[in-house]
Amino acid sequence: MQSAIEIAPQRYRASYGRYLEDFKVGDIYEHRPGRTITENDNIQFSLVTMNAHPMHCDKHFAAQSEFGQLLVNSGLSLAIVLGMTVNDISAKAIANLGWKEIKLTAPVFCGDTLYAESEVLEVRESKSRPTQGIVTTRTRGLNHQGVQVMEFIRMSLIPKRGHGVGD
């Protein structure tokens, strides 16, 4: 007769983001899943943000341009790439402190799938908030062909372990 070892079931709570101590300079986070941008995404974002530039919403106009097709609104591309970073970089953040050096390096078209990766550039304790620190990252957005379409640097205010909301 075999004896069975019973293991009590456990409960797990999903955890998003990282604490200040989890970030190391030089680490690179590959953000997944990717996001395919549809023509509907592009037009709705453009109209909601009152950007009615014909390159975003007039196929006939865009077809006559050097690109030969609609361009995805760069605000939408930036928002999607930034959003892809949240789970890894800023889900525990107290605040975004700023972005700099936003560079749009290649066009994004409807039907493109975007991916993102972020490199940790700097981690430091806050001078005025002893339970928090500042993490600086460089994020690159790439299309499904591996072409970099954007890059930006972002500073986030991150809590130390034990000092986040819900800790």
The string of pLDDT tens digits covering residues 69-111 is 999 999 999 999 999 999 999 999 999 999 999 999 999 999 9
CATH at 118:
3.10.129.10
Given a contact cutoff of 8 angstroms between Cβ atoms, the answer to whether 99 and 152 are in contact is yes
Residue 142 lies in a domain: yes
Total count of domains within the chain: 1
Burial class (CB in 10 A: 0-12, 13-18, 19+), 135: buried
Residue 24 lies in a domain: yes
Residue 150 lies in a domain: yes
Given a contact cutoff of 8 angstroms between Cβ atoms, the answer to whether 123 and 23 are in contact is yes
Q: What is the pLDDT of residues 15-41, one digit of tens each?
A: 788 999 999 999 999 999 999 999 999
Domain that holds residue 32: 20-159
